Structure 1
Amino acid sequence: MRHIEIMDTTLRDGEQTSGVSFSATEKLAIAQLLLKEVKVDRLEVASARVSDGEFQAVKKITAWASENGLIDKIEVLTFVDGETSVNWMIEAGAKVMNLLTKGSMNHLTHQLKKTAEQHFSEIAEVIALARSKDIQCNVYLEDWSNGMRNSPDYVFQFLDFLSTQPIKRVLLPDTLGVLTPRECYDFLSQIVQRYPNQHFDFHAHNDYDLSIANVMEGVRAGVHGLHLTVNGMGERAGNAPLASTIAVLKDFMPEVETSVVEASLYSVSKLVETFSGFRIPVNKPVVGENVFTQTAGIHADGDNKNNLYFNDLMPERFGRERKYALGKTSGKANIEKNLQKLGIKLSQADLKRVTQRIIELGDRKEVVTQEDLPYIISDVIDTNIVEEKVEVINYVLTHSKNLRPSATLRVKVDGHIFEENAQGDGQYDAFMNALKKVYLKKEVLLPMLTDYAVRIPPGGNTDALCETIITWEHKGKEFKTRGLDSDQTVSAIKATQKMLNLI
């Protein structure tokens, strides 16, 4: 099998996503996860000379990588600027530079205003200096895709020159994301065949939503490495996404292999989502919240009958599990799947009534979670399936200018009354801090809040019902609770009371 090198550039090209900036500590945490658990081959972590913060981040990463024998996997984008980038690399402790050069006559003529010979001469000087300082060199041909379209003679003149240089890899970016899959194959196969002893990486952008198709054609054409980003982050429409690419290569291109651990892709995706503040679309392949969720009742029914709606993208491959959504398209099979997980069995007549209530809630655009089912069952069929062991009896929430928000609450737990007060960064945070004091007396650790989503119907009515859905993690299991009220904080408290009874 042919090994394809995976170079992750989330920390460099991915950070060019509008509004995203990782701290030095966040960059280090992402780098550690990508190299130690996801096991990508290489990391491009920064651009030289950008800022002091970037410099400090690279120093943190290179120090850790040196201690762990991984320094050759850390790469930095540099520039044709004499000694400047090379000196920056030395001070930052980095050993591999990805030199940015001009891969099209258009860029060379209008941006640098130089001849090919002048550009090549300056590149050779930087490479020679880097090698004398024991820095390994790779070379980017910026705008290479347009270069192949409009000035192929220049591109091949450039590659002829690079074949004489002491470099390890040539990096070919579709800088503006303009290539079609056919062009991608044609251009890359020409180059790979003409320079059989050179290592070529392909760097795809997603402006036309063709990055995965282009990656497949690049691999088919014979490239040796791919540049990818977690969650497809990057400038404009982003880069080729890591998770989708790995799944596609594994399932559709059995002649190649990578070192990437599929089971770690979801965890790094969530970490990058948290640090970037850049939410993953719920329908994003492999890592989106909904991609392993069946919504239509007919699909759940088919899964009960020889897994009729399964494909090779099994959630377990990526450390995830299949779910069955509850809403207006839910059938009895969806609801039965959720009841099984809760250990609840209903008669067919009761199941039909519960199904109808869930459909009604879905019609009103309310989100129904698995943890809501016992409450719906209690309401619909008048049973005491939910035992309310915890009740928030009273609370006072205050918010004043230039003073920290505070909360005082009285809560009944197993028949005992507790009263506590606390401050916090917001009213709900203050409420949770007071609640933690109560449970500290009981020596019980509360679940960790991992996500907090608020849904308010459009239209601008201030008395509209607000729906708060909170995701919790408890003893290795993740679950959601939902609260509904005209006040956002109160709806969150209602969702929290459900959580307290569930645990």
Structure 2
Amino acid sequence: MNKRRIEIMDTTLRDGEQTSGVSFSVSEKLTLAKLLLDELKVDRIEIASARVSEGELKAVQEITHWAAEKDYLDRVEILTFVDGGVSLQWMEKAGAKVQNLLTKGSLNHLTHQLKKTPEQHFEDISKTLQQASKQGIKTNVYLEDWSNGMRNSKGYVFQYLDFLTKQPVERILLPDTLGVLTHNETFEFLSQIIKRYPDIHFDFHGHNDYDLGVANVMEAIKAGCHGIHLTVNGMGERAGNAPMASVVAVINDFLPEVEIAVNESSLYKVSKLVSAFTGFGIPANKPIVGDNVFTQTAGIHADGDSKKDLYFNDLLPERFGRKRKYALGKTSGKANIQKNLQELGLTLNNEELKKVTQRIIELGDKKERVTKEDLPFIISDVLNSGGYQQKVFVKSYVLTHSKGLKPSTTVALEINGELHEAHAQGDGQYDAFMNALRKIYKSKKREFPKLTDYAVRIPPGSNSDALCETIISWDNNGKEFITRGLDSDQTVSAIKATEKMLNII
């Protein structure tokens, strides 16, 4: 079957930059332009609006200089305006060769914004197109508010398209400027136009105000559209544009009659870079590029994956340069933990696995986030706890730290079923806790070990907020030993390590 080739035009650097609070530097624009064309392999990029600023001009000059060396100039596009040739002069200075001319695609916009008749507007456009041809600049034409034009002034849209088909135009770009179309309307409107003008190249430019951007792009392609406009991470005005990653996956998986040039294995890398440059965070649940989309949380899912990939679909993370993860938390269960242990090269028997699972559930109930890198610490803490019979319990404590006052602690300690309380001050909360314990042990005429070393660490490579480990070395009448405590709170982890020491002695 001969596949129909669809052009992908990325407008992250132009429409995406219209995201509130986003502005790319010159070097960032150049870096992204190179990535989009060379690595992601989109067909075209729209990189700027003419006449915006000196910085914008500099960025375009840098990109066009690089593009000329790579023979990419015809793939670099600038948004321009019907302004008596001012935009075209700007383009000449910028070294750009393709303009995307913004014109009015609805009678409402034309009448109330430009206050012109269709004939006056067409005449102005004709002059701009003739001047562009003289300067060797190719033209694509945007019909701004085209979607509302088709809804409310279809006669004007067809009058305008009749005019454009006789002009020196490369492509006609049909935007759903306000993101108002349903998928049914997108298919219906584009089908009518493409049947009426079968020899013209039409692009669809979708916005995402109703979260229908991807669905509308899909219907635009089914209707026979020749090109689509996308942005990385769905950036753009208001709710943004149709998102690149989702659309690419949908085309590859659900439109077998269509082919695109985009290299989907680079989508995640480019997405992360755009996010870093803009400070525009990627929602964790965003399809394809979000942090959570290839993470199984429920233990039943991990169990099913182990048995016959029961919870896999065609969106395999490896397609996008990613890996499947199994989250650790209160719903993860033994199967998730086993998956993470396999990655670390660790094995536990059933009894050990139950203990580790229980500890992770406890952390999950405290809303703590556990990562794979935390597992060795949890295993060490849980399994080492079984080396003694617990007879000493730190039942409760109050830690205070106030400006101008020494830290203090009140401790309730149970030894062999007998409860003891003490209050003490110290140089810090843990020091106060230790002084309170010493009081109790002194009153009971019991030996109390000497603390010889104290270290705190977090699991190497962990980005978790769940755990820190406190390792304390003790000297008990010349016998040295170490205890460890694990908790999300540093002082509490030290108290847990100390409780273990009290049971050992």
Query: Contact 2:368/2:488 (CA < 8 Å) preserved in 1?
Result: no
Aligned-partner residue type, residue 120 of structure 2: Q
Q: Structure 2: how far apart are the matches of 1:313 and 1:305?
A: 19
Match of 1:168 among 167, 170, 175: 170
Q: Structure 2: how far apart are the matches of 1:281 and 1:383?
A: 39
Match of 1:148 among 147, 150, 163: 150
The verdict on how the C-alpha distance between 1:28 and 1:364 changes in structure 2, with shifts beyond 3 A counting, is same
* Corresponding position of 1:419: none
Q: Structure 2: how far apart are the matches of 1:150 and 1:486?
A: 65
Q: Structure 2: how far apart are the matches of 1:92 and 1:358?
A: 58
Alpha-carbon offset, residue 83 of structure 1: 1.4
* Corresponding position of 2:326: 324
Aligned-partner residue type, residue 243 of structure 2: P
* Corresponding position of 1:65: 67
* Corresponding position of 2:443: none
Alpha-carbon offset, residue 467 of structure 1: 7.8
Q: Structure 2: how far apart are the matches of 1:114 and 1:248?
A: 41
Q: Structure 2: how far apart are the matches of 1:145 and 1:159?
A: 14
Q: Structure 2: how far apart are the matches of 1:339 and 1:163?
A: 64
Alpha-carbon offset, residue 452 of structure 1: 7.4
* Corresponding position of 1:238: 240
* Corresponding position of 1:254: 256
Match of 1:286 among 282, 285, 288: 288
Which digits, 9 at most, give the CA deviation of each residue in 1:82-128, with x for residues without a partner? 11000000000000000000000000000000000000000000011
Q: Which runs of 5+ in 2 are unaligned?
A: 387-459, 469-485, 494-505
Which digits, 9 at most, give the CA deviation of each residue in 1:297-354, with x for residues without a partner? 0000000111000000000110111000000101101000000111110010000000
Aligned-partner residue type, residue 330 of structure 2: K
Is 1:183 equivalent to 2:188 in the alignment? Answer: no
Q: Structure 1: how far apart are the matches of 2:356 and 2:90?
A: 65
* Corresponding position of 1:29: 31
Q: Summarize the alignment of residues 322-471 of structure 1 with structure 2, pairs less than 5 Å apart.
A: 322-382=324-384
* Corresponding position of 1:265: 267
* Corresponding position of 1:395: none
Match of 1:7 among 6, 9, 13: 9
Alpha-carbon offset, residue 483 of structure 1: 9.2
Q: Summarize the alignment of residues 213-232 of structure 1 with structure 2, pairs less than 5 Å apart.
A: 213-232=215-234
The verdict on how the C-alpha distance between 1:114 and 1:467 changes in structure 2, with shifts beyond 3 A counting, is farther
SS at match of 1:137: strand
Query: Contact 1:283/1:291 (CA < 8 Å) preserved in 2?
Result: yes
SS at match of 1:382: helix
Aligned-partner residue type, residue 354 of structure 1: V
Aligned-partner residue type, residue 8 of structure 2: I
Alpha-carbon offset, residue 484 of structure 1: 4.2
Instruction: Calculate percent identity across the aligned residue pairs.
Output: 68
Aligned-partner residue type, residue 360 of structure 1: E
* Corresponding position of 2:199: 197
Match of 1:86 among 88, 95, 104: 88
* Corresponding position of 2:208: 206
Q: Structure 2: how far apart are the matches of 1:110 and 1:486?
A: 64
Q: Structure 2: how far apart are the matches of 1:273 and 1:44?
A: 18
* Corresponding position of 2:107: 105
Superposition CA RMSD, Å: 2.0
Match of 2:44 among 42, 58, 82: 42
Match of 1:157 among 150, 156, 159: 159
Alpha-carbon offset, residue 268 of structure 1: 0.4
Match of 2:97 among 95, 98, 104: 95
Query: Contact 2:207/2:240 (CA < 8 Å) preserved in 1?
Result: yes
* Corresponding position of 1:406: none
* Corresponding position of 2:424: none
* Corresponding position of 2:430: none
Q: Structure 2: how far apart are the matches of 1:371 and 1:319?
A: 21
In the alignment of these two chains, the number of paired residues is 400
Match of 2:22 among 16, 20, 23: 20
Aligned-partner residue type, residue 179 of structure 1: L
Q: Structure 2: how far apart are the matches of 1:45 and 1:16?
A: 12
The verdict on how the C-alpha distance between 1:21 and 1:452 changes in structure 2, with shifts beyond 3 A counting, is farther
Aligned-partner residue type, residue 33 of structure 1: L
SS at match of 1:328: coil
Normalised by the length of structure 2, the TM-score is: 0.77
* Corresponding position of 1:124: 126
Aligned-partner residue type, residue 288 of structure 1: G
Q: Structure 1: how far apart are the matches of 2:333 and 2:490?
A: 30
Q: Structure 1: how far apart are the matches of 2:224 and 2:85?
A: 35
- Runs of 4+ residues deviating >6 angstroms: none
Aligned-partner residue type, residue 339 of structure 1: L
The verdict on how the C-alpha distance between 1:486 and 1:54 changes in structure 2, with shifts beyond 3 A counting, is farther
Give 1 or 2 for the bigger CA radius of gyration.
Answer: 2
Q: Structure 2: how far apart are the matches of 1:319 and 1:158?
A: 45
Q: Which runs of 5+ in 1 are unaligned?
A: 385-447, 456-465, 469-481, 492-503
Which digits, 9 at most, give the CA deviation of each residue in 1:400-439, with x for residues without a partner? xxxxxxxxxxxxxxxxxxxxxxxxxxxxxxxxxxxxxxxx
Which digits, 9 at most, give the CA deviation of each residue in 1:449-497, with x for residues without a partner? 9x979x7xxxxxxxxxx989xxxxxxxxxxxxx994579xxx9xxxxxx
Query: Contact 2:374/2:467 (CA < 8 Å) preserved in 1?
Result: no
* Corresponding position of 2:454: none
The verdict on how the C-alpha distance between 1:382 and 1:467 changes in structure 2, with shifts beyond 3 A counting, is closer
Which digits, 9 at most, give the CA deviation of each residue in 1:26-59, with x for residues without a partner? 0011110010010000000000001111111101
Aligned-partner residue type, residue 115 of structure 1: T
* Corresponding position of 1:497: none
The verdict on how the C-alpha distance between 1:352 and 1:67 changes in structure 2, with shifts beyond 3 A counting, is same
Q: Structure 2: how far apart are the matches of 1:199 and 1:245?
A: 20
Query: Contact 1:377/1:383 (CA < 8 Å) preserved in 2?
Result: no
Aligned-partner residue type, residue 232 of structure 1: G
Q: Structure 2: how far apart are the matches of 1:356 and 1:130?
A: 71
Query: Contact 2:370/2:467 (CA < 8 Å) preserved in 1?
Result: no
Q: Structure 2: how far apart are the matches of 1:320 and 1:310?
A: 14
SS at match of 2:181: coil
